[in-house]
Amino acid sequence: MHALIIVDIQQDFCEGGTLAVNDGAQTAALITEYMNQCGQKFDVIATTRDWHIDPGPHFSDEPDFENTWPVHCVAGTPGAELHENLDTEFIDAEFLKGQYNDGYSGFDGILGEPDLIRNQDGMAGPYGATAAAAAATDSSSITMDEWLREHDVERVTIVGIATDHCVRATAMDASDAGYEVRVITNLTAGVSDKNIDDATDEMEDCGVMLSEWPGAKTFIG
């Protein structure tokens, strides 16, 4: 079985968000086009979200944009929502990560409850997370690895944001867990060119396959 994992295509990581990367919105649109054209090759499709409640030193008033960051993707706020260019009709499961830590890897996430994600009543944590959003994984303890294995997945293809952080961490954890892993690099967007180059080298060294989707050029053109 083959899974597509879409990493963190969220409002705060796209143009207008608090931690936007270049071409984030375009990457979201490209992934939707990729699913329209190629989605049938995947047995399941999952997405991840940063879902921060109180992630400690991950947030900083003076971020270095490598280990510390501005406040972003607070659970239950508009910035944590999936970007409107991403068609959620294709998605079978969402994994929420980083509630109380950095949460770079999708393999740190827990299967979320959509009804609770969309409930905005009450507050939790110091950054304005909603109480219901903070409880969005309370009814589940299912990790991404457990969910993939329940679906007999052996191969994963990874796309999303950011190439040099959460995509990298998710791909390397997938490889360490024994999956055959591919990252489609032109369906990702990153923070810095140098870090992207370092991340792709690191992923390749771990056995992750890197490729490009030829259809992206046609869609952009």
Known active-site residue 8? yes
The catalytic position among 97, 102, 164, 173 is: 97
Known active-site residue 194? no
The catalytic position among 50, 108, 166, 173 is: 166
Are β-strands 93-97 and 44-50 bridged in parallel, bridged antiparallel, or unpaired?
Answer: parallel
Known active-site residue 64? no
Are β-strands 93-97 and 110-111 bridged in parallel, bridged antiparallel, or unpaired?
Answer: antiparallel
Q: Which residues in 30-45 are b (16+ Cβ under 10 Å) and which e?
A: bbbbbbeeeeeebebb
207 in the Ramachandran plot: left (φ > 0), alpha (ψ -120 to 50) or beta? left
Closest CA to 15 of 6, 24, 7: 24
Cis preceding-peptide flag for 162 (omega within 30 of 0): yes
The catalytic position among 8, 12, 102, 173 is: 8
Q: Is the CB of residue 40 less than 8 Å from the CB of residue 90? A: no
138 CB neighbour count, 10 Å cutoff: 11
**Residues with catalytic roles:** 8, 97, 166
